[in-house]
Amino acid sequence: MFSSLMPDVASTQAAKTDTLFFALLGLSSAIILLVLVLVATFAIRYRRGSRANRGSLPPILSREFEIGWTATTLFVFLFLFWWAGSSQLSALAPPKDAIEIHVVAKQWMWKTQHSNGAREINELHAPLGVPVRLIMTSQDAIHSFFMPAFRIKKDVLPGRYTETWFEASKLGVFHLFCAEFCGTDHSRMLGRIVIMTPEDYARWLTAQPEGDDLAHEGAALFATRGCSGCHAPSSPVHAPNLAGLYGRTVQLADGRTVTADDAYIRDSILQPGRDVVAGYEAIMPSFASILSDGEIQSLVAYIRSLATGQAGRGPALAPGNAIEGRPSGESDGAKP
């Protein structure tokens, strides 16, 4: 009955969200029904002129009854809170083995980029049964990435990263909408999500025109935009070495600590004076007007790759001393 009113169920999250939705709908309907029946019963029983007993309450409505039903409803609602909360929290944290796809929104299109550098416009190909983490940012206004069949909607903001993730549970082509009014052609900011078997996805991915993957693109930018002049291990400038930085806790000059995630690295490129690392001078210029959003994404991907050694030839430092200064021994002075 409801299935024709609802969008497809095409992700693991969609199934969870729907179960919750129908449980809440069922519970609310039961309560409404109960209230309606009581209203009708009382209206008839105690209508004007009826001979119903209007005196003291029947003995069943004792104190125990009051306490009992109050406690029951309390526990029902605590249970609902826990259920909805845990379902939403799991929707926030992507599994560790999720593949990453970058999304850039702009007036009025969606640009996506896969781990090997393949790019798409207004399309997103993804494999079935594999968790996919979306790292999203906007080049202009606020947009919102909305995939109804996946029950996923997340705002995409300029100057900031937002993330979401999904695991597709159904093959096919699904809608992608922008769900935030973002200007004249907002209503035409549409796309398609194409879910393929993992084998087909791998084949599709390799058939895409060769693009540098993000991290390699970032490695090139790191040299051409002058980052390596200060941040390379061999540099005479006293700047934090970035190998092993990603994911670590960083001690700042003002005593705060932050985790070096995508957002921190992005902020450090755009507003270097904001979170100065303890032991360093605030000498880095802002790259806000120099780098595009796409370039910053590439640089962040490159710095992230230095943590795991996927790409580039960043010196393999023990994470513990990466930020303290230049490595003393091993560096061959090679620019990453």
**Residue choice 102, 114, 133, 143 for contact with ligand CUA (CB under 6 A):** 143
From residue 89 to residue 118, what is the string marking binding to ligand CUA with x (rule CB under 6 A)?
----------------x--x----------
- Which residues, listed in sequence order, are joined to residue 136 by a DSSP beta bridge? 103, 162
Nearer residue to ligand CUA within complex by CB, 4 or 184: 184
Query: Which residue type does 305 have?
Result: S
Of residues 166 through 225, those in contact with ligand CUA by CB under 6 A are: 178, 180-182, 186, 189
Closest Cα to residue 130, out of 305, 9, 12, 215? 12
What is the smallest separation between the CB atom of 159 and ligand CUA, expressed in angstroms? 16
Please identify, using beta-carbon distances, which residue of 153 and 335 lies nearer to ligand CUA.
153
Three-state secondary-structure class, residue 42:
helix
Q: Which residues on neighbouring strands pair with residue 155, listed in sequence order?
A: 144
The Cβ of residue 140 has, within 10 Å, a number of other Cβ atoms equal to 13
Distances (CA, A) of 180 to 143, 156, 186, 260, 323: 5, 9, 8, 30, 40
CB of 99 to ligand CUA, least distance (A): 25
Distance from C-alpha of 80 to C-alpha of 84, rounded to nearest angstrom: 6
Beta carbon nearer to ligand CUA, 159 or 211: 159
120 counts as binding ligand CUA under rule CB under 6 A = no
Interaction residues for ligand CUA, span 224-263 (CB under 6 A): none
In three-state secondary structure terms, 142 is coil
Q: How far is the CB of 139 from ligand CUA (least distance, A)?
A: 11
**In this structure, what token pair is assigned to residue 48?**
């004007």
Residues near ligand CUA (CB under 6 A) are 105, 108, 143, 178, 180-182, 186, 189
